Chain A
Amino acid sequence: MSTKTSTDQKLDVAPPYNAVARHGVSPQPSHDEVARFDFLANFNKFLSGALGPGNKLTYDKRVQPAFEKEHGRAPKDRFEIRHAMNNDPFHTFWSALKRNSMEMRQQNGRAMVLRQIDELSAKARQYNEGRDTLELNPEIEVPRYQNAVDIHCMPGSYHGEELAGDVSAGANYDCGIFATTAGGLGALSDGGGAALVEWIKQQRPGWEPCRVLDIGTTVGHNIVPLALAFPNCEFIAIDTAAPILRYAHARAQSLGATNIKFIQANAEDLSRWEDGTFDWVQTTMFLHETSGKALPKIIAEGYRVLADDGLMFHLEQPEYSDEMPLYEQFIRDWDAFNNNEPFWSSMHALDMKTVMNEAGFAANELFESGVRAVVDTDIFPEAATGDDEDHGRAAYWHAYGAWKNSDQMQEAAE
């Protein structure tokens, strides 16, 4: 027990939504809209920190013993655990609360964005009209994996429009990241992008990429920090959804990242770019929103357009390896079935090393790394891992990477 008095004790509370930085297409929140996100940020902390450990307790003490008694063996995979846990009163109640939190985040974000939809469209137009850094291609179809369900319970997904040509999908996605991560991604929800900058500066000090491809960019929050860090580099950011790109482009322009070209394109077919065009090809928290057949195609196309000695880098949640306990696999799977992430479970069971091997990388070119969000820790929290971790949302990622033909390049240089 701590003997500290309440005055010198700092409780774990979420930063206020006021601390989120505004950019050129940020919705302007009213007092009460701020307060709604303040509630949700702290409620999500409560769900993962105070109630979350109850899931493991009920599994260890009730669910697993009952399963073993009934079947004469332990559960053989995360699916059996899920079916058993879905009959447990603690876990179902926790899940119902968490699902409600996710739904409230969507309703609260959409209410704020949609009441000012015209103003947001006008702001976006100021940054978008007449600029050749935004290229929309109406012939690009929304892939089935993007519209089978609305991903993370976001009504309309990334491609939905309420009024023709609006930017509400992007604005709603952007503003709510604060609530679901309790501020864990920092003032511009760009802690992932800031982490990429820190990572590459440590790994290859002095390296200046010339051309970078960001696949599944959504609102561009993870590519803007890189674009600002490498102002002489040309960035191409692609996504299949026009509404999110309209927002992403305006957002990037307003933040001064004018060296990113946003293009509506599907990464399964990058034929408009020649072999070896880019010296960095990446995704951040995107591959789990694709599908079993699309993912290897995207990696293979990424490999093709990557130059020798170029970097392929993917940030994801950790994969379900044989070493990961089945219970942890189950709890990491929550979003798959409760928050509309239908490829999440299969994707995390993939061995990414094999996928990247099959795309053309040699085994010795591959590496894995842990990457923690970089945020202003004076205001925003460092991502909790361990018992308090909000699985699936923790701002601590697993990186799958490779330097293409780096050995051969080195040998040639020597």
Chain B
Amino acid sequence: MTEEVFDWMAAANKKAKGKRPEYFDDPEDERMLSILMAVVGEVSVLRERMDTVERLLDANGTISRNDIENYAPDKQAAYERGAMIREYIYRVMRGPHQMVQELEQVEPPVEEVSRELKDI
């Protein structure tokens, strides 16, 4: 008799009951954005881990996996890491962020500006 293993990885992915809203015309875009956002999150995780490694090496000159798992930033380091994540988010979210700026300032197409410059 084999003991049934609880597959927590599969269980973590359980869908919430309730029909998911559709945000895009093409349902595949929903999946693509979900994959992209998961990767965006995981890159942030890798960056934070690298920051932990660098800080531990700076402080101790040596490192173990245990040190990484148990690392907790002090107040200054916590702020610096928060700022690092924020900077990363602003970089990857440039596109949607610029949509806000487009809404603030409606601009004429460059073709129009080009025609204008020809005559001034």
Contact = CB atoms under 8 A, between A and B. Distances in A.
Contacts of A89: 99
Given A31-B49, A117-B8, A10 B103 contact: no
A75 B5 CA distance: 55
Interface string B77-120: 01101110110011001001101100110100000000000000
A19 B18 CA distance: 33
A8 interface: no
Interface in B15-57: 15-18, 20-21, 23-24, 30, 33-34, 37-38, 41, 44-45, 48-49, 52
Contacts of B73: 16, 18
B45 A32 contact: yes
B1 interface: no
Contacts of A61: 103, 106
Contact of A13 (B13, B20, B85): B85
A271 to B, nearest CB: 31
A50 B48 contact: no
A51 B95 CA distance: 11
Contacts of B37: 97, 100-101, 104
Interface of B: 6, 8-9, 11-18, 20-21, 23-24, 30, 33-34, 37-38, 41, 44-45, 48-49, 52, 68-69, 71-73, 75, 78-79, 81-83, 85-86, 89-90, 93, 96-97, 99-100, 103-104, 106
Interface of A: 10-16, 18-19, 30-32, 34-36, 38-40, 42-43, 45-46, 50-51, 53-54, 57-58, 61-62, 89-90, 92-97, 99-101, 103-104, 106-108, 110-111, 114-115, 117, 147-150, 153-157, 162-163, 337-338, 340, 342, 379
